Structure 1
């Protein structure tokens, strides 16, 4: 690839932040990224789909994935290509088009060997919520510096998988997206030296091997609840945000400090089947949100997330000018790839209403005497 400056379609827009074409970002850090994440469901356990597309300007790559949980199978379609024009949000059969900024986005999945196809229009139900900036350093170097906004949706269009087509004309297609960019560990860990040792590992990112990460976005009829929580075993939080976003345009409502309680694990301890959030505000009654599992899937199952050595496909890796493949997992199988963060479709109740949405959790290290949700655990559950 040429080392000269490169123009892209974005250069015709008033979006420049530095005196360089948009293709070139304001840092030379290899870990700079720019990403879309979406999910879609039909408010029941028929299926759950997560999708993502990322650009890595300093690695010269772009990749995308679609991962579907249906029954006991999780199927992941993934593509990677060399990055050229940053305005081209297509990768293999997966394409994203911004129809109306901060509101309407088209997601198209062309016919491919996975059997997953779609022509969906994400239509935001509320204005995007900008979340607190996340900044972390190790030995003086910034290893995590991320901005993110989130939004829930009523989808138009259709999605097809396993020979079944779900159309928004027939069933409620709902979902969530987040849009994030900045610096965070990408792909394989970097060389191990004093300055950056462990920057792509859990202990390097968060200073401890014991840590919990909870991201939740639940859509009710007139509002959405969004929760982000990063916490170490001592209760110290590097990120805490809990808000209600109203569909009618009124300002977001802070819900108060969220407390989290696991009520029931699956028998093999891999999944959180029931949980509760309690929101605490001074001089106000506590408010609770009950969570019940509908359909969990593994975030790292072939999607590119994660950096464990056994994962063959990771974000930002150059695989050729254009590569697409499909991997299929039996969620009940003893497969070492099936570990780590869980993106769970859940039903949730709050203030007398029932909603549906994402319950994403990662509990690293010691969790009540076992390895943690997401893993196959040898130890039996302790008595309750």
Structure 2
């Protein structure tokens, strides 16, 4: 195949700005709403679309979390990459105007590329002032299934349009570099999670109005060879002859916390299946391998980013040009963990029915401890 042949296999999406709000994508038969692709189905300023990935090892040394998001009604795009190396928590953030091109999933040095839909992505972090880079190929292992969550609900006195999307698990191949020290990533040494969601979300464009909806009940993301748990969703392997996925009936958590930070250290939880059967899974946090998502602009009761109070969808700088920033924290220090804590993802070792794997537990630390201490939401403290 020649370069010209290869180019013809790709979508032709460039179009002159004279056609705005029509874009090159509008030439394709892809519409599911009577507006151009660039025009959202809702005028809600909190409309968003985001992809998110994690990559972690099996020993508790290296953790990567990254994502990119578009906010069409705010005309902004942003991306973040968090690398935690043995408790050194490094973040790179980038912001730019959205523009008409929705196919370029890059913001400054942080880029995402669909190589093969529902099979392979490429995630890259280029040169930046924080001294961290990566080039990772992502390979799906579990089957993503579409779900529509919360449509028709009322939050406070405001109708909630809902969030739709899909989740998945995968393995990675490539490398991560911190201050010139390179770490090889292979499908046998590393694994992770991903999701792609769109809809409306509280906390977009500024402080959240309904801060109780910031994950006080833990979310577990863990993959075993033949099954997996994504919060309440049981995903199956790619190619599994059984269609679709499974869903848990209930979850009950008994949790341990650090006394100096009130952040999770481990615990156990019951997976209650629809047939009434129960499986109990235990987990233990690996050191201080935590992704503090406030650094990725996931705001909540503790605020936006720890330094600067940036929330998702906010314009940074003049709003008309690329802005790249970030910072580094030593999260081996308990005081630092308290200061930057909020919506946090804890790298953990899991065990269930004799099987061992490694994954993530997500919770809003201060709220989770308070709920467990009060015995609310199916949470309790494990003594």
DSSP 3-state at the match of 1:305: coil
1:278 to 263, 270, 273: 270
Find out whether 1:16 has 2:31 as its counterpart. Answer: yes
After TM superposition, the score normalised by the length of structure 2 is 0.81
Q: Judge conservation of contact 2:76–2:96 (CA < 8 Å) in 1.
A: yes
Q: 1:333 to 1:268 in 2, by over 3 A?
A: closer
* 1:80-95 correspondence to structure 2 within 5 Å: 80-84=95-99, 85-95=101-111
For residues 45 and 191 of structure 2, the distance between their equivalents in structure 1, rounded to whole angstroms, comes to 35
* 1:129-168 correspondence to structure 2 within 5 Å: 129-135=145-151, 136-138=153-155, 140-143=157-160, 145-168=162-185
For residues 43 and 100 of structure 1, the distance between their equivalents in structure 2, rounded to whole angstroms, comes to 26
* Aligned-pair CA distance for 1:116: 1.8
Find out whether 1:317 has 2:330 as its counterpart. Answer: no
For residues 281 and 302 of structure 1, the distance between their equivalents in structure 2, rounded to whole angstroms, comes to 35
For residues 373 and 218 of structure 2, the distance between their equivalents in structure 1, rounded to whole angstroms, comes to 19
Q: 1:134 to 1:3 in 2, by over 3 A?
A: farther
Equivalence for 1:200: 209
Q: 1:92 to 1:73 in 2, by over 3 A?
A: same
For residues 187 and 337 of structure 1, the distance between their equivalents in structure 2, rounded to whole angstroms, comes to 22
Q: Judge conservation of contact 2:156–2:210 (CA < 8 Å) in 1.
A: no
Residue range with higher mean Cα deviation, 218-227 or 101-110: 218-227
Q: Judge conservation of contact 1:296–1:342 (CA < 8 Å) in 2.
A: no
Find out whether 1:267 has 2:269 as its counterpart. Answer: no
DSSP 3-state at the match of 2:84: strand
For residues 114 and 287 of structure 1, the distance between their equivalents in structure 2, rounded to whole angstroms, comes to 43
Q: 1:87 to 1:65 in 2, by over 3 A?
A: same
Consecutive unaligned residues of structure 2, counting only runs of 5 or more, are 1-16
Residue range with higher mean Cα deviation, 131-140 or 324-333: 131-140
The structure carrying a bigger helix percent of its residues is 2
1:346 to 342, 345, 348: 348
Residue range with higher mean Cα deviation, 94-103 or 54-63: 94-103
Equivalence for 2:205: 187
Residue range with higher mean Cα deviation, 339-348 or 278-287: 278-287
Find out whether 1:287 has 2:303 as its counterpart. Answer: no
Equivalence for 2:192: 175
For residues 53 and 222 of structure 1, the distance between their equivalents in structure 2, rounded to whole angstroms, comes to 29
* 1:56-135 correspondence to structure 2 within 5 Å: 56-84=71-99, 85-135=101-151
For residues 98 and 140 of structure 1, the distance between their equivalents in structure 2, rounded to whole angstroms, comes to 39
Equivalence for 1:357: 359
Residue range with higher mean Cα deviation, 297-306 or 114-123: 297-306
Q: 1:161 to 1:171 in 2, by over 3 A?
A: farther
Q: Judge conservation of contact 1:78–1:324 (CA < 8 Å) in 2.
A: yes
Q: 1:147 to 1:171 in 2, by over 3 A?
A: same
Find out whether 1:303 has 2:321 as its counterpart. Answer: no
Q: Judge conservation of contact 2:60–2:289 (CA < 8 Å) in 1.
A: no
Structure 1 runs, 4 residues or longer, greater than 6 Å off: none
Q: String of CA shifts for 1:300-356, please: whole Å, max 9, x gaps.
A: 342111055564222111123100012112222534641211101111112321111
* Aligned-pair CA distance for 1:74: 0.9
* Aligned-pair CA distance for 1:140: 4.7
2:41 to 22, 26, 37: 26
After TM superposition, the score normalised by the length of structure 1 is 0.81
For residues 27 and 264 of structure 1, the distance between their equivalents in structure 2, rounded to whole angstroms, comes to 42
Q: 1:59 to 1:132 in 2, by over 3 A?
A: closer
Equivalence for 2:11: none
